[in-house]
Structure 1
Amino acid sequence: MPGTRPRTHPRTRPADVDGEPLRVLVVVGHPLAGSLVHALAAAYVEGASDAQVRVVDLAVDPVPAHPASIDELRAARDGSTAHLGADVVRYVADLRWADHVVLLFPQWWGTYPAVLKAWVDRTFLSGSAFRYGPGRRWERLLRGRTARIVMTMDSPRWWNRLRYRNAAETSLRHAVLAYCGVRVTGVTRFAEVRHQDAATREAWLRTAARLGAQDARRPRAPRVEHDGSPRPAAV
């Protein structure tokens, strides 16, 4: 998988909102390079060749460090992130840039690996991804964006649904993405991984490529951009 720098594909599809193809951010949430998740991500990126694609691979890209203070979990009151480390600044910029976010990860212990949780904690910032308002209200600052979840697991789908209550998907779909205004367009679960043969895994790669091509054909939708103006209740 590509490392620290964005991968941008040629513009081969009709212009959309502002003359650009869809902007896709692919986040690989597996800490070990060469995994099945990496192969699925590579297939997705190849399929999405009509889109602009950036890749964050948490097996090779820096995993965000634990925050040293509460200020490292939020943007400044003007929306800037200059006070954060360079890696976090880049990840926040990637998220703001994206129209569509693809999260790929293995299910471990009923949820997703710590590297992906660290990326979420340090990237979906108060004042940047969401902003508190008066009382119990808040603003979803990533409205207009979409996401796709792709996960692998050794559990059968029925066990994941009945016993684990789809915990990984529920956490990302509702507690993270929807909370910030991001609409999930699809969830793909590749189940019982260790019991599958090579032919099945090859079929999964074709599925991932097909999902990439499908997403790349989507037009860019208008996004709601916040003004970044200071607000006392923002952070």
Structure 2
Amino acid sequence: MEKKNILLINGHPDKESFNQLITERYIETATSFDVNVRSLMLRELDFDPNLKYGYRKRMELEPDLLKALDHILWSDHLVWVHPLWWWSYPALMKGFIDRLFLPGIGFASVGDGSYKKLFSGKTARIISTGDTPEKDYEEQFKRSAFLQLKEGTLEFCGIAPVYTTYISPIYRVPKEQLDVYLQRVSAVAAEDIRMLSVK
């Protein structure tokens, strides 16, 4: 059986964040299986995150965005890691999506008001960290960042199913609890790979 390809996308701008440890743990777990793994640390990419002209005028993709697109096209499974900030994800990650998930790349109009999903056939996992209790995130926030990324972007472009994992609280949590969270990440990675193996 051909090896599956997994791409980690870390949307946190700080390389010393807990999101970085999550990304590294997922990669470490995944590489212990018979899969190919690549990663994108968005903070390391050189690109303008501002979609200056909206959709009126096309901006040329910078070399790092072209490489990122190659990684996305290569992947079978995308893993997005990001913090929950102001009910959403960081501006860096929003800019990455704005610049890259464009008409003709992620989706295309078919002329009757509907869209062709150009990333169909891929699956995804979103791992988000926050300090809001999970119950409040579901009841008050309506899982806002998950909704935005899962339904508003990934599924719209054909990536499905999209699994979600919320880890909270993070701030001022003892190392022992953070280690428990990382064990959960390992379990999630193993679960994803089992899912891919039967896809």
TM norm. shorter chain > 0.5: yes
Q: 1:111 maps to which residue?
A: 88
| Alignment root-mean-square deviation, CA | 1.7
Per-residue CA deviations over 1:202-226 (Å, capped at 9, x if unaligned) read 01111112222332342274xxxxx
Q: Deviations over 1:116-161 (max 9, x none)?
A: 1111112212112110011211101111110000000011112212
Where does structure 1 differ by over 6 angstroms across 4 or more consecutive aligned residues? Answer: none
Q: What's the % identity of the aligned pairs? A: 25
Would you say the 8 A contact 1:63–1:115 is kept in 2?
A: no
Of residues 99, 102, 110, the one that matches 1:122 is 99
Is the Cα contact below 8 Å between 1:33 and 1:60 reproduced in 2?
no
How much has 1:97 moved relative to structure 2? 1.1
Tell me how far apart the structure 1 counterparts of residues 198 and 69 of structure 2 sit (CA, whole Å): 20
Stretch moving more, 87-96 or 25-34: 87-96
Secondary structure, aligned partner of 1:188: strand
Equivalent positions of 1:70-89 (< 5 A) are 70=55, 71-72=57-58, 83-89=60-66
Q: Is the 8 A contact 2:26 2:189 kept in 1?
A: yes
What TM-score results when the alignment is normalised by the length of structure 2?
0.90
| 1:59 and 2:43 correspond | yes
* Cα pair 2:49 2:96 within 8 Å, conserved: no
Q: Is the 8 A contact 1:46 1:212 kept in 2?
A: no
Greater Rg by CA:
1
2:167 aligned partner: 190
One-letter identity of the residue aligned with 1:46: E
Name which of structure 1's ranges 179-188 and 54-63 shifts more when overlaid on structure 2: 54-63
Pairing 1:149–2:129 present? no
Q: How many residues align?
A: 194
Q: Distance in 2 between matches of 1:176 and 1:44?
A: 23
Shift of 1:60: 2.4
Identify which range, 135-144 or 57-66, moves more after superposition.
57-66
Query: Mind listing any 5+ residue stretches in structure 2 that lack a counterpart?
Result: none
User: For 1:181, which of 149, 153, 158 is the aligned residue?
Assistant: 158
**The residue matched to 1:150 in structure 2 has which SS?**
strand
| Contact 2:126-2:164 within 8 A present in 1 as well | yes
